[in-house]
Amino acid sequence: EPEVTQTPSHQVTQMGQEVILRCVPISNHLYFYWYRQILGQKVEFLVSFYNNEISEKSEIFDDQFSVERPDGSNFTLKIRSTKLEDSAMYFCASSDPGYREDEKLFFGSGTQLSVL
Amino acid sequence: ILNVEQSPQSLHVQEGDSTNFTCSFPSSNFYALHWYRWETAKSPEALFVMTLNGDEKKKGRISATLNTKEGYSYLYIKGSQPEDSATYLCAFWSTGTASKLTFGTGTRLQVTL
């Protein structure tokens, strides 16, 4: 069964450093997302991406964050200057828009980001 | 800010017990309600996408119901097995948003022998 893959599974970085989290969505999907979960909190939406542009973003997704689909297969999340509070599990997801009943998200297994 | 709540937060049952959890969500601007199953160290996996008031969906021993007018959904597991141990997440999708899911806190289920 096709799956969403994320790399790396763990990333440790120093505060202020840039990180890029990588995802390969399911190949025929058209919508792509990033969500995150800070330990002990809810899974929260960051951004959705369709047709090579951001379709929606949350208030968390400020100027420090950016997304890119550089080559038609990868989908990346960049955090320009990491803060301690960016430490979280970051999930990539993709979906194939169709009937509303079919619009489930397929998630990757996540990248655990630790900012020291 | 959309309020999506789940109860209980955690649940510990014996193998063979049947159980159920609740997800409450806003009763206005409803588009869809998703249920995901999330096992430790794995990806969250979709169980159900529910769209119509009164929907009942079933997948093996797991079923779910939806009441959009009062803003709640129930997830039922019949005859729990240890492999059902996971966190069960509901997520609300409101109209006017581009696939933005608002998740509840999850119900962590532990099934023991």
Contact assignment for A103 to B104 by CB distance below 8 Å: no
Residue from B101, B102, B107 to probe the interface with A (highest A Cβ count within 10 Å): B101
* pLDDT above 90 (res B2): no
User: Where residue A73 falls among pLDDT bands split at 50, 70, 90?
Assistant: confident
Q: Point out the residue among B4, B98, B102 whose CB comes nearest to the CB of A48.
A: B98
User: Where residue B98 falls among pLDDT bands split at 50, 70, 90?
Assistant: low
Residue A91 sits at the chain B interface (C-beta within 8 Å)? yes
pLDDT of residue B96: 78
Residue from B35, B36, B100 to probe the interface with A (highest A Cβ count within 10 Å): B100
* pLDDT above 80 (res A41): yes
User: Where residue A100 falls among pLDDT bands split at 50, 70, 90?
Assistant: low
Instruction: Report the pLDDT averaged over residues B23-52.
Output: 94
Contact assignment for A48 to B51 by CB distance below 8 Å: no
Rounded distance between C-alpha atoms, residue A111 and residue A4, angstroms: 12
Residue A95 sits at the chain B interface (C-beta within 8 Å)? yes
Residue A110 sits at the chain B interface (C-beta within 8 Å)? yes
Instruction: Report the pLDDT averaged over residues B61-76.
Output: 97
Our CA-based measurement puts residue B49 at a distance from the nearest CA of chain A, in whole angstroms, of 6
Q: A10-33, pLDDT tens digit by residue?
A: 999 999 999 999 999 998 898 999
Instruction: Report the pLDDT averaged over residues A86-115.
Output: 90
* DSSP character string of chain B: ----EEE-SEEEEETT--EEEEEE--SSSEEEEEEEEE-TTS--EEEEEE-STT-EEEETTEEEEEETTTTEEEEEESS--GGG-EEEEEEEEETTSSS-EEE---EEEEEE-
Q: A73: which DSSP letter?
A: S
